[in-house]
Amino acid sequence: MRSFILFVIRLLVPMIAKVKISGWKYLPSSGSFVIAVNHRGFMDTVIAFSALNRTDLFILVGEKWGEIGLFKWVSKYLNIIFIDRFNPDLKTMREIMRRMREGQILVIAPEGTRSKTDGLIEGKPGVSFLAAKSGYPIIPVAITGTEDRVILGNIKHFKRSVVTVTGGPTFSLPPLSSKNRDKTLLVYTDEIMCRIAQLLPENKRGVYADHPRLKELLETNPLELE
């Protein structure tokens, strides 16, 4: 069933969107890692399975979607894990760590929800906590063109949307200590979000547009994405 669902996804996506992918060279050829991506719309999850032709992806999704019958059924075959976004979820954390030890790839949106603006919204510390605790490298990925209103509007007019998926260089976060933990998590979260912002057009960087760390990255770490 999983193979059939993935086949349908990869059949439908080109009918809905023209997907342009860059930054392939930054994708590790082996081992487990975290993909941290901005969240624009419902299509983001579908794009992940379409763009990355891999069977070892698993994606974290807010627990509210687990209450929808069809989505819950599909999630069993697409390695989707529902997580409580507002309370500690130790059971899910253990499952995430187990999967990553097995070499699977975690895809997660640090913003925690779809952005209702045209730019990035504030990231949540969950991704930085997972990455720092596990020690696995992080790949920042930026998506544009998957906003629900854009996708649905183009479908109504029988037009394909233009979607870009841009990957950046891997990086790692130092181990998390108990001292000044909340402050450290904030710094780590800003680092992840600024790495994503660096891959976005200037008008899509949202609340991170003027962040000092983003300016530093733009000045000292120019990217080669082709």
Query: pLDDT tens, 137-179?
Result: 999 999 999 999 999 999 999 999 999 999 999 999 998 877 8
pLDDT at 207: 97
Alpha carbons 95 and 45: distance in angstroms, whole number: 20
What's the CA gap between 150 and 131, in Å, rounded?
Answer: 32
Q: Are 85 and 62 in contact (CB under 8 A)?
A: yes
pLDDT at residue 211, rounded to an integer: 97
- The pLDDT assigned to 224 comes to 61
What pLDDT does 82 receive? 83
Alpha-carbon distances, residue 211 vs 73, 113, 173, 180, 193 (angstroms): 41, 21, 19, 21, 10
pLDDT at residue number 158: 94
| pTM of the full structure | 0.91
Give tens-digit pLDDT for 123-148.
Answer: 988 888 888 888 889 999 999 999 99
Can you list the residues of the chain whose pLDDT is less than 50?
none
The pLDDT value given to residue 66: 66
How many other CB atoms are found less than 10 A from the CB of residue 122? 14
